[in-house]
Amino acid sequence: MSISASVLETLHRIHRQKTDLSGQLERGPKQIQAARTKIDYCKKVLEDIREKQKNLRMDADRRQLQLRERENRIASLEGKMNAAKENREYQTLKEQIAADRQANNVLSDEILELLEQVDVVHAQIDPAIAQIKAAEGDLVEVEKRVTERMKAVEADLARVMKELAQVESGLEGDFKRDYERLVSLRGEDGIAETEGNCCGGCYQMLTPQMLDRLANHFTVVCPSCGRFLYQS
Ligand SMILES: [Zn+2]
């Protein structure tokens, strides 16, 4: 049975186009999804910054409270110290006050450091918001570009499918049956062009008889990978 090499070549080209266009159709929504994921990520970054800022503030507030409590205690200890009648009591209170003052100095430094960190984190908020806006802008652009592209791809695919149906309507007999089975399973990989004396699909060396049959327009199937072969 013979089939013209140009028909196989045409079918192969159409199947390749179909694969390419179908792939583009699949990638479109993924590009949009990727742009959405980026927005979600940027929002999460902002959320984390705000959470961090909140925790730092709470920590600073907690220490401020501790500082004031200790200041009150120092004031009360000072009252007791001034009223002390015994020298030993006076000394003990004096030492307690000194220790509390020392502790409060450390605490003041810690609070100052925390407030500085709050400022640093606060400064990250505006850039993070800008990142979200930029990502949202990107999404609008990607959606517009992909939607336009998908329309064009869908039109191309419809044209290619019509052309495929047209070429396939001219097939008959065993070849039609084998071809339909093969391309339904493997699409464009059901057909291969020869490369030199090899199958272009799997690079198996073809026998002289096979090459001879190909040259005489007989149907040849690669014994290794099962593709229909054609020579251009
Ligand atoms: Zn092969």
Q: What are the DSSP calls for 189-214, one per residue?
A: GGEEEEETTEETTT-PBPPHHHHHHH
Give SS3 for 168.
helix
- Please give the distance, rounded to the nearest whole angstrom, from the Cα atom of residue 206 to the centre of ligand 1: 9
- Please give the distance, rounded to the nearest whole angstrom, from the Cα atom of residue 184 to the centre of ligand 1: 18
C-alpha to C-alpha distance for 152 and 164, rounded to whole angstroms:
18
- Please give the distance, rounded to the nearest whole angstrom, from the Cα atom of residue 186 to the centre of ligand 1: 13
Alpha helices in 83-198 (DSSP H): 87-122, 125-169, 173-186
C-alpha to C-alpha distance for 145 and 221, rounded to whole angstroms:
42
Amino acid at 60: A
- Please give the distance, rounded to the nearest whole angstrom, from the Cα atom of residue 23 to the centre of ligand 1: 24
- Please give the distance, rounded to the nearest whole angstrom, from the Cα atom of residue 161 to the centre of ligand 1: 26
- Please give the distance, rounded to the nearest whole angstrom, from the Cα atom of residue 87 to the centre of ligand 1: 106
Domain ranges of the chain: 10-170, 171-232
Q: What is the pLDDT of residue 175?
A: 87
C-alpha to C-alpha distance for 232 and 213, rounded to whole angstroms:
14
pLDDT surpasses 70 at 61: yes
Give 2's pLDDT tier (boundaries 50, 70, 90): low
pLDDT surpasses 60 at 1: no
- Please give the distance, rounded to the nearest whole angstrom, from the Cα atom of residue 223 to the centre of ligand 1: 7
Q: What is the pLDDT of residue 87?
A: 94
Q: What is the pLDDT of residue 123?
A: 98
Give SS3 for 193.
strand
Q: What is the pLDDT of residue 129?
A: 98
Fold of the CATH domain 10-170: Helix Hairpins (1.10.287)
- What average pLDDT does this structure show over 50-76? 98
Are 193 and 229 within 8 A, CB to CB?
yes
- What average pLDDT does this structure show over 77-91? 94
- What average pLDDT does this structure show over 142-160? 97
Supply the pTM of this predicted model: 0.74
Percent of the chain beyond pLDDT 70? Answer: 99
Average pLDDT, the chain: 95
- Please give the distance, rounded to the nearest whole angstrom, from the Cα atom of residue 16 to the centre of ligand 1: 17
- Please give the distance, rounded to the nearest whole angstrom, from the Cα atom of residue 224 to the centre of ligand 1: 5
With tokens 């199958």, the residue in question is: 199
Q: Please write the tens of the pLDDT for every residue from 152-186.
A: 999 999 999 999 999 999 999 988 999 999 999 99
3-state secondary structure 126-141: HHHHHHHHHHHHHHHH
- Please give the distance, rounded to the nearest whole angstrom, from the Cα atom of residue 120 to the centre of ligand 1: 64
- Please give the distance, rounded to the nearest whole angstrom, from the Cα atom of residue 182 to the centre of ligand 1: 13
- What average pLDDT does this structure show over 95-104? 97
Percent of the chain beyond pLDDT 90? Answer: 93
Give the pair of three-digit tokens for residue 134. 């930029």
- Please give the distance, rounded to the nearest whole angstrom, from the Cα atom of residue 196 to the centre of ligand 1: 13
1-10, 91-100, 118-127: which range is least confident on average? 1-10
User: CA geometry: angle at 205 spanning 203 and 206, to 5°?
Assistant: 120
- What average pLDDT does this structure show over 202-207? 96
Q: What is the pLDDT of residue 4?
A: 76
Give 217's pLDDT tier (boundaries 50, 70, 90): confident
